[in-house]
Amino acid sequence: MTLLSAAPDSFDALPNPRGGAVRPAELALAEALLAFEQHSESTSALLRASHALREAGWLSAQRFADALVRLSPLAEGDPADTDSARPVFGTALRDFRAALERHNLRELSCSPTLFDHYRALCTHLSEHTPGSTVAFEDLALSARPVPPVSLHGQSADQLAHLRARYERALLPVLRAQPDNSGAALAFTNAALDELDAVLTELTGPDPYDFWRLAKACAKALRVSGRAAGEADARRFYARCNLTLADHARGIERAPRSLVRATLALLWRDYALFGAAAEDADQVEVLHDYGLTVDWHVAGTQASEMLWEAGAVQAQAISATRSTLTRELGVLTVNAHAYEDFLQSADASISALTEHARAADQPEKADPSEALQAGDAAYRLGAAACALGLGHVALVADALGLAWRRRAHAGVSTPAVRSHVVVGAPAASTLEHTAEALRAMLHKVAAGVAPARSNAALAALTRSIEQGGA
């Protein structure tokens, strides 16, 4: 069975043929699935999968595996029982195994299909642990720092006027159906146009203004065709209305839960399918929040199918010829991709270290230099993500976010500072994180699995989320 035939049709992102594989987790899931089908105990195999995924730094996947672990004892019930957790568990396990074998870390984080399974698993678990709730961002943004986000001060009259316009346009959007056509579709699109216009007028000069983030999310939803009729979109627009009311009452910070939900929704389709040149503004917003995407090359459907077939063939060859792979702890990586990564990573980490040392001289502070450092961190993070080095990717992306905030702090205008200061992480924190990344990369170069850099990431996360040095 080929990789594609093993995956459900709803997994639309392409597999990553040069990506690393967590073979112990794949084998453990195969064992768990066999045990499940034979009505045997599957918990121990699922625990091994979870531990392997944690060691590899595939944290969203580990979170999914942990949900399977918790539900597995309840999935041994009678298959004929319609209220049994067994059907939900079995479908989730099969699809998770198929997704894991595609070696696409962004898909494992942002797949709507996997999240639907995760939510179903947790729904059954909530019957035994009342009060627990799950959200898409729990998987998509697992372990990622998210900075504080402001609500730019505006006059009460202006906010009241904008909220009235927003509410008038909101009702048709909330009532829209995915299959709307003709006059109904035109009416919905006109309402969405009005919502976009209001979000544009609300947006303030602070790069971490919530309405800037919301505007980018709304545009991404429309580009993907998901703005009307989808539950997540309706929830987003409705929560924006509640936040507009908070804004009118003088609240200066957007709720963290809403920021995370909006950011994950913005990232979702770009993480899965990549971005094109016309998506540059939304990608820029993602970069300001520590998230990266791949840029896709325009082509015909036939060329994409040909590329995908070649990708599957390359992955099959890599899996069967051990001379083309390297072992990094639990992670098996493509040898050529590994060598390419080491060459590009060396240049990125050298640039990051130099930028961090220069940042300790305030008189020489240069926002453009900080942006270059952020871009270097993001290149390293994206390359690590593609190879499957989850821990390296997480630290590199967080460092990219820290440098972005430092760049914005260097160009903040007095008008922005009077409302909110974009906190610039201390140069010592940036340098310490760069050195921690260097140590991780030295282990990778030596053929050893990089250990988690918990202390450095925790310090950087505190600096980012507390909004200051």
Residues 383, 422, single domain; the answer is yes
Cα–Cα nearest to 329, from 461, 446, 248, 430: 446
Residues 130, 160, single domain; the answer is no
Residues 127, 39, single domain; the answer is yes
Residues 221, 330, single domain; the answer is no
How many other C-beta atoms lie within 10 A of the C-beta of residue 212? 23
User: How would you write the pLDDT of the chain (469 residues) with one tens digit per residue?
Assistant: 223 333 444 566 788 888 999 999 999 999 999 999 999 999 999 999 999 999 999 999 999 999 999 999 988 766 555 467 899 999 999 999 999 999 999 999 999 999 999 999 999 888 766 656 789 999 999 999 999 999 988 899 999 999 999 999 999 999 888 766 677 778 889 999 999 999 999 999 999 999 999 999 999 999 988 988 889 999 999 999 999 999 999 999 999 999 999 999 999 999 999 998 899 999 999 999 999 999 875 444 554 555 455 555 555 554 544 458 999 999 999 999 999 999 999 889 988 888 887 776 655 567 888 999 999 999 999 999 999 999 999 999 999 999 999 999 865 444 444 444 567 788 889 999 999 999 999 999 999 998 888 889 999 999 999 875 4
Burial (Cβ within 10 Å: 0-12, 13-18, ≥19) of residue 175: middle
Q: What's the confidence (pLDDT) of residue 130?
A: 60
Residue 461 lies in a domain: yes
Residue 317 lies in a domain: no
Residue 400 lies in a domain: yes
Residue 293 lies in a domain: no
What's the order of all strands across the beta sheet hosting 331-334? Answer: 21-22, 331-334, 325-328
- Size of the chain, expressed as the number of residues it contains: 469
Residues 342, 209, single domain; the answer is no
Residues 13, 122, single domain; the answer is yes
- Spatial neighbors of 159 by CB under 8 A, at least 6 apart, are 244, 247, 248
Q: What's the confidence (pLDDT) of residue 75?
A: 86
Q: What's the confidence (pLDDT) of residue 303?
A: 46
Residue 302 lies in a domain: no
Range of the domain at 425: 323-465
Q: What's the confidence (pLDDT) of residue 84?
A: 78
Residues 160, 269, single domain; the answer is yes
Residue type, 158: Q
Tokens of 63: 């979170």
Residues 278, 191, single domain; the answer is yes
Out of 269, 288, 307, a domain closes at 288
Count up the domains in the chain and report the number: 3
Residues 119, 176, single domain; the answer is no
Q: What's the confidence (pLDDT) of residue 308?
A: 55
Residue 24 lies in a domain: yes
Residue 44 lies in a domain: yes
Confirm if 170 and 236 have CB atoms less than 8 A apart: no
Residues 257, 359, single domain; the answer is no
User: Distance of CA 460 to CAs 81, 215, 286, 456, 465, Å?
Assistant: 49, 28, 18, 6, 9
Residues 344, 388, single domain; the answer is yes
Residues 171, 210, single domain; the answer is yes
Out of 134, 164, 187, a domain closes at 134
Q: What is the distance between the alpha carbons of residues 467 and 89, in angstroms, rounded to a whole number?
A: 41
Residue 386 lies in a domain: yes
